[in-house]
Structure 1
Amino acid sequence: ALLFDHKADPAVKLINGSQPIHSAAARGSVGCIKALLEAGVDINVANMTGRTPLHWAVDRRAVDAVRFLLGDGAD
């Protein structure tokens, strides 16, 4: 992805410990999730409250993201 070509950190953390993969999962953006995983982000990374991208996708009913994450080994 273009951002990663310019050295953007795919695992940058927000104040609550969430990373871009959490937001991508919540929005159901499978393409973004794939790009983040290809850049080395942990599929099961948890924020400060222990919530993973899969939790965020389920909460937002992002079915495509849930299916993708489960198919790619998310817990």
Structure 2
Amino acid sequence: IFTSEAGLVQRGAVAAFGADIYQWGYQAGEQAAQYLKTKKTDGLKPEMVKLRKHAYNPVMAKRYNISIPANFEAVK
């Protein structure tokens, strides 16, 4: 019912708080671009995804009679 991957909400999960896969890839792309420009790994380090998404599926929330906090965004 609950997941950490926002994309799964469109497939039937009720709600998610977690990584936005697109944003995570964009963040990784920024590091790749830095490496390609400098040809050095100096300054590159593992990092957590910076932006997390709060999403919910209103149809599924209604089905299970679950109230969702106001800071969650409904998916279509």
Q: TM-score, normalised by structure 2?
A: 0.29
Largest Rg, 1 or 2 = 2
Structure having the higher strand fraction is: 2
Q: TM-score, normalised by structure 1?
A: 0.29
Structure having the higher helix fraction is: 1
